[in-house]
Amino acid sequence: MFEVFILAIALSMDAFAVSIGLGSKHLTKTKSLSIRAAIYFGVFQGIMPLIGFIGGKSVFGWINHYAHWIAFLLLILIGGKMIYDSLTDGIEEFISDITHKVLLALAIATSIDAMAAGFTLTLLEVNPFLACIIIGFTTFLFSGLGVFIGAKSGTWLESKAELVGGTVLILIGFKILLF
């Protein structure tokens, strides 16, 4: 179960980073923005791993011998992408008005990696529904907090969150491969 908490924190770092960026650019109505971001990011980050788990479970019999390698490669790619994203400007730099459509698009974009990471849940001895609730709730908390942090301190923490999240996902990939 410890791996699920670490995975939840790592996966939530994308949404956390975007939330910091949103908060730093939109200093008015931060409480409302915090709640909306937390709901959108938390719900999508909680649903997408379940989709990945179901997809992984359906093909697990065919790829059983290679599942550890596939999970390793997925986590390396997702972690690498997060590290790369930490070195570039985020999309929130170009958003002037945060509508429900914008939050929906950002929630989908930040949770695609969670769908791929959901495949790795097939390799862990956990209840996938509980794992997805933990991932969604963790993202909910980090996203809500991220808006307030961004409003108070700017974007200095944004790239660091993605860097840490990507590094942790890569380490989880190595753990799955080696143990």
Whole-angstrom Cα distance, residue 83 to residue 99?
28
Q: In this structure, what is the dihedral angle of CA atoms 21, 22, 26, 29, given to the nearest 10 degrees?
A: -140
Q: What angle do CA 175, 3, 54 make, to 5 degrees?
A: 95
Q: Average of pLDDT values for 154-171?
A: 79
Question: pLDDT tens digits for 12-51?
Answer: 998 998 898 888 877 778 899 999 999 999 999 999 999 9
Question: pLDDT tens digits for 111-154?
Answer: 888 888 888 888 778 899 999 999 999 999 999 999 999 888 87
- Give the pLDDT of residue 143: 96
pTM of the complete model: 0.81
All residues at 6 or more sequence positions from 88 whose CB lies less than 8 Å from its CB, including other chains:
none
Whole-angstrom Cα distance, residue 152 to residue 142?
15
All residues at 6 or more sequence positions from 101 whose CB lies less than 8 Å from its CB, including other chains:
none
pLDDT band (50, 70, 90) for residue 85: confident
The answer on pLDDT for 68 being more than 90 is: no
Number of domains present in the structure of the chain: 1
| Token output for 51 | 């989709």
- Give the pLDDT of residue 92: 52
Q: What percent of the chain is modeled with pLDDT above 90?
A: 29
The tally of CA atoms less than 13 A away on the side-chain side of residue 62 is 5
Whole-angstrom Cα distance, residue 140 to residue 103?
13
* Structural domain of 26: 2-178
